[in-house]
Amino acid sequence: MPNHQISRTDIMDMDAYAGVRVERRRAMTQTKKNRRVSVGPDATFYFESYQTMLHQIHEMLFIERGGEAQIEDELSAYNPLIPNGRELVATLMFEIDDPDRRTAFLADLGGVENSVTLSIGDQVVTAVPEDDVERTSETGKASSIHFLHFPFSDDQIAAMREDGARVVLGIEHQKYAHLAILPEDTRRALCEDFD
């Protein structure tokens, strides 16, 4: 059964982490490979897990060197992004290198966080945006990063677990409408997030 919460006891001493950091980063690259899905030319979903968030916390602590005082803040920030056993959680990033194009693109993308779905056969799971901060401004500009929860019913979990299930990740915004079929390796990896 997957873990759903990172506690203080899960955090390594930073000197010890320094000794295993290269190996851990290499292993995380492999883990993330099957948890990354591109949808259209500019959107990438990174499906989070206990392991990805534990890695992220260690990296933040190692880079920022905030010590013990920083740990609680990191736990508060990243624990909500660990799937609870009945959901998938993804970080959606609009990755556009050109700053002018990125600004113009995001200016018309308001509300995109409310237009994301995951379809398994005829069952549809609608993403629920993390409500930590507003990701669409009053002027309709969207953030380049969104945190999304996909709450599953028992039937949807069962459908997702079927070998070869056709799972489609979609964005249905008027300015950005794209779909992607999840590779089988990705579907299997994401099923590990369910209890």
Per-residue pLDDT reduced to its tens digit, 61-104: 999 988 888 999 999 999 999 999 999 999 999 999 999 999 99
Residue 134's pLDDT band (cuts 50, 70, 90): low
Contacts of 12 (CB under 8 A, 6+ apart): 20, 58
* Pairwise CA distance, residues 71 & 60, whole Å: 9
φ/ψ of residue 62, rounded to 5: -70, -45
Q: Please say if the pLDDT value at position 5 is more than 80.
A: yes
Q: What is the pLDDT of residue 138?
A: 73
Residue 133's pLDDT band (cuts 50, 70, 90): low
CB 69 within 8 A of CB 36: no
Would you say the pTM of this structure is higher than 0.85?
yes
Q: What is the mean pLDDT of residues 15-30?
A: 94
At 145-184, the pLDDT tens digits run 999 999 999 999 999 999 999 999 999 999 999 999 999 9
Give the CA radius of gyration of the chain. 17
